Amino acid sequence: MVGVMAKTEKLRLRDADWLTGQLLIAMPSMGDPRFAQSVIFVCAHSADGAMGVLLNRPVKSPKFAELLVQLGVEPSPPKREIRVGSGGPVEDTRGFVLHSPDWVAEGSMPVDEHFVLTANLEVLQAVADGGGPERAALLLGYAGWAEGQLDEEIKQNAWLSVPADEALVYDTDYGSKWQRALAKLRIDPGMLSGEAGRA
């Protein structure tokens, strides 16, 4: 009986965080323009809410080197650069580095076996020095959902989800990221667009 209860509890816990490490793909009917055609990496999803970072919103400014100057991180110019993007509308002056698990620091949050989220200067310093994680993206801000909000949005067909892969997370082909994420589900965006907006 205890074993059955433990197994049920495990399933409940897994179900509660089933979107952690997944990609959210905005449906064409997405009503919020901030998330139109967005691809979001879900860093955490639990009964308390969810947090993720947008992957296909590059920023023109600041560039990585400029940001390091603002933060007082040396050397300038850095020995290595990583891409900078908008991670979402919440706390958009705060930076999050989504990266490969080959480098971690105190405060790094493993998302799963493939991805880690770090939000401190140590990772930026390591990259500026020419080291740090092999693959990384610096995202300014994040997208957040209150308790049950994301689950409700998914029920209302605002989002599709698909397992994350490194190409979609790290490459800089922003213009095709949304279409390529849909292609992982074998969905033609044109078919979806044709159905959007009908009552």
Q: Is residue 18 one of the residues assigned to a domain?
A: no
Structure tokens that stand for 152 in this block: 């409700």
Handedness of CA 115, 120, 122, 127 (dihedral sign): positive
How many whole angstroms separate alpha carbon 126 and alpha carbon 80?
9
pTM of the model: 0.88
Low-confidence ranges of the chain (pLDDT < 70): 1-16, 193-199
pLDDT, position 15: 53
What's the total number of domains in the chain?
Answer: 1
pLDDT digits (tens, 9 = 90+) for 11-39: 333 455 789 999 999 999 898 999 999 99
Q: Is residue 13 one of the residues assigned to a domain?
A: no
Q: Is residue 5 one of the residues assigned to a domain?
A: no
pLDDT digits (tens, 9 = 90+) for 30-65: 989 999 999 999 999 999 999 999 999 999 999 999
What range does the domain containing 143 cover? 23-194
How many whole angstroms separate alpha carbon 199 and alpha carbon 188?
21
Q: Is residue 150 one of the residues assigned to a domain?
A: yes
Which domain CATH number covers 126?
A: 3.40.1740.10
pLDDT, position 189: 78
Q: Is residue 6 one of the residues assigned to a domain?
A: no
pLDDT, position 197: 41
